[in-house]
Amino acid sequence: MITGFQATENVAESPEMRFEIDPRALFAALKAERAGGPRIAGYWHSHPSGDATPSATDAAMAAPDGKLWLIVAGELIAGWNASESGLHGRFEPVVLTEI
């Protein structure tokens, strides 16, 4: 169950076309997680094109760490698990449920 989130700045050179999590915020969250803080369930970003499927660029950026990737595209939200197989050799679909 996801109980919260932390928004971070998109520091990509072309944020209207790409996303890159602010490394300082990501490293701080990973450090806090290792110290017993909240577990990082995953990451989310939007696809303004309306397609909630990971792109080849998403696959190139994703580490196969088992983290959840949520992609928001208009009214659609799709969940993907970053792995070493699946779509683009990186993503397996995750069924999202509301509780």
Q: Over the chain, what is the mean pLDDT?
A: 90
- Read off the tokens for 59: 């696959």
Q: What is the 8-class DSSP label of residue 39?
A: -
Residue that wins the pLDDT comparison between 5 and 24: 24
How many residues in total does the chain contain? 99
- Which residues on adjacent β-strands are paired with residue 69? 43, 80
pLDDT at 99 over 80: no
3: pLDDT confidence band, cut at 50, 70 and 90? confident
pTM score, whole prediction: 0.83
